Amino acid sequence: MNNIVRYQDWEARLSVYLDRVAEEPFKWGTHDCALFASDCVLAMTGVDPAEAYRGTYDTVVGAAKALREHGAGTLLKSFTATFGEPISPHFAQRGDLVMLDPKTIGVCVGRHSWFVGREANQEGLVPLFTASCRYAFRVPFEAAA
């Protein structure tokens, strides 16, 4: 795992980022789920997990190709390579990343998690129950020994 560690004021930084993108529509290569989750990590830690593939695609096909060429092959494998094996979403804490399925990632804010999408004609961040997620990844508070 990379040396990703949350800033002491990570909660405020994450909150500012979430407020800024709350109504930003989904767009491949700019504001999709992988970049949203990576931007959350960037806000909390200063480390960009998507650095290698950021700016390399603008379609769903391009996203899959970027994950194959610059990531670990898939979204799930790429985040596993960065954060280690997923944990049960029942143990996810605020600021951890969560996946509904192997292709959809967001950020846990407690009982709910935020995902980029569309809900009833409104685009932007969509809250879903964290318990409905399938995987979660810890975003560490301190460096691993």
In a domain, 129, yes or no: yes
| CATH number of the CATH domain containing 110 | 3.90.1720
pLDDT at 123 over 90: no
In a domain, 4, yes or no: no
Q: In terms of Cα–Cα distance, which of 57, 29, 44 is closest to 116?
A: 29
In a domain, 144, yes or no: no
In a domain, 1, yes or no: no
Q: What is the secondary structure of the chain as a DSSP string?
A: -------TTHHHHHHHHHHHHTTPPPBTTTBSHHHHHHHHHHHHHS--TTTTTTTS-SSHHHHHHHHHHHSSSSHHHHHHHHH-S-B-GGG--TT-EEEEETTEEEEE-SSEEEEEEEETTEEEEEEEEGGG-SEEE---SS---
Range of the domain at 66: 10-137
The number of domains in the chain is 1
Q: Which residues contact 114 (CB under 8 A, 6 or more apart)?
A: 18, 36, 106, 107, 125, 126, 127
Instruction: Write out pLDDT tens, residues 75-90.
Output: 999 999 999 999 999 9
pTM comes to 0.94
Instruction: Write out pLDDT tens, residues 43-73.
Output: 999 999 999 999 999 999 999 999 999 999 9
In a domain, 5, yes or no: no
Q: Which two tokens stand for residue 23?
A: 């109504």
In a domain, 78, yes or no: yes
In a domain, 143, yes or no: no
